[in-house]
Structure 1
């Protein structure tokens, strides 16, 4: 059965140079839950950061965190001494593992992004940070694999049975959601608008179907879509400082 989480049901927090919409993916079920994650997909922050925004050095532990940059540039500094500019052409995956510190600053170009928190398969794995330099064509409606488990050979490795794709279909396109046997789709409308059967979805909405493949998306306004394919039976640790919150 198709289930939808509307943007109007997720709160906007902050103001000024730091605003975010905190999304708990399990809320798409619209029922009381002991845990508001969707399998290992724990939380998504849809953030808008103005020039001058700074998130000072802070700790992550046992969190898998994808920084999906859609607009702008952000400077990442971390406890390994790296300083890297991330942008829509350079995405970042932090496998926080046993301990990892980083900070984020927006010195020149305001940012719109998703920060995606995933529960790893086990606690206290070796920490590392990865970057994916990619050509970006907002006219390309094909799904591109961004991250996945080690065996997927995805550009960014996630220590969990979850695959992450994006696509940028144009108005008038029809696009099929990617599928893999035994995995459940959860799709976020980053920008634009789509029609899925009788359902109209706009920026900030999400859709899933736990029982079958989602129908094709009819793109009614040029869009950016982010799709997650999730093994809801995969083991995960609750030890994450952020992803382990129920």
Structure 2
């Protein structure tokens, strides 16, 4: 079973300083058919104007992931973390029982582009936490986030994992899947063929009951995010 969410089917928000595309219902965008998938609740494709950003606000009981596509995020939170997050790095903030934070474009001349991802945790009211790391640009599938933080990955409070997928032009790769899991793939760059379908940048695909999954890049390099989620 699979369902594709095309880039042009996503919700949109424009606030002058922020342009955002919403894969799932978020803010003023409400689509009862797209309320998330498994524990995956939000994928926002955000573009922030130079010097602008999200003022201090609070979250509870949510695992919030940021992946910077271009530019640099300036992060500050109520747990005392004051960090910069450059292009290519992943950030995982566990809101737990409550945390306040701000996220700004650290540049006053260049746009910031990043993906904001929310995953619902499987434990409530825990200790807030902050992690960030650059996992490089290795070709293939690179684990980024896991439930146990193994092999230097960021640790999430959910039975879920996130991997970075990079393919060379025309490269074919089999991805590890299990029938009892749900999977979501979000394409960032390039063209990708899977399940006899073609994905373009901004497209995503929900997948269930898989016994195998092969993906093939088109004529350009592919960059995507691959989620393993509870079924």
Between the aligned partners of 2:18 and 2:176, the Cα distance in structure 1 is 33
Give the secondary-structure state (helix, strand or coil) at the position aligned to 2:8.
helix
Q: CA RMSD in A?
A: 2.1
2:203 matched residue in structure 1: 205
Give the secondary-structure state (helix, strand or coil) at the position aligned to 1:150.
coil
Distance 1:89 1:197, change over 3 A: closer
Alignment size in residue pairs: 223
CA contact (8 A) 1:143 1:178 kept: no
2:41 matched residue in structure 1: 42
CA contact (8 A) 1:208 1:214 kept: no
1:111 matched residue in structure 2: 112
Structure 1 position 88, deviation (Å): 3.1
Relative to the length of structure 1, the TM-score reads 0.83
1:191 matched residue in structure 2: 189
Distance 1:161 1:152, change over 3 A: farther
Question: Is 2:127 the partner of 1:129?
Answer: no
CA contact (8 A) 1:19 1:49 kept: yes
Relative to the length of structure 2, the TM-score reads 0.88
2:65 matched residue in structure 1: 66
Matches within 5 A, 1:1-246: 1-24=1-24, 36-108=35-107, 109-134=110-135, 136-137=136-137, 140-150=138-148, 152=150, 155-180=153-178, 182-213=180-211, 215-220=213-218, 221-232=220-231
Higher RCO (CA < 8 A, seq sep 6+): 1
Distance 1:52 1:194, change over 3 A: same
Q: Which runs of 4+ in 1 moved over 6 A?
A: none
Distance 1:181 1:46, change over 3 A: same
Distance 1:36 1:166, change over 3 A: same
Structure 1 residues 54-103: Cα deviation after superposition (integer angstroms, max 9, x where no partner)? 21111011110011112211100111222111023432110000010110
Structure 1 residues 31-58: Cα deviation after superposition (integer angstroms, max 9, x where no partner)? 965x812111111111112212221111
Distance 1:200 1:181, change over 3 A: closer
CA contact (8 A) 1:177 1:227 kept: no
CA contact (8 A) 2:177 2:210 kept: no
CA contact (8 A) 1:74 1:106 kept: yes
Give the secondary-structure state (helix, strand or coil) at the position aligned to 1:85.
strand
Distance 1:205 1:160, change over 3 A: same
Distance 1:64 1:197, change over 3 A: closer
Structure 1 position 112, deviation (Å): 1.7
Structure 1 residues 127-165: Cα deviation after superposition (integer angstroms, max 9, x where no partner)? 11112243x22xx32111110112645511110011100
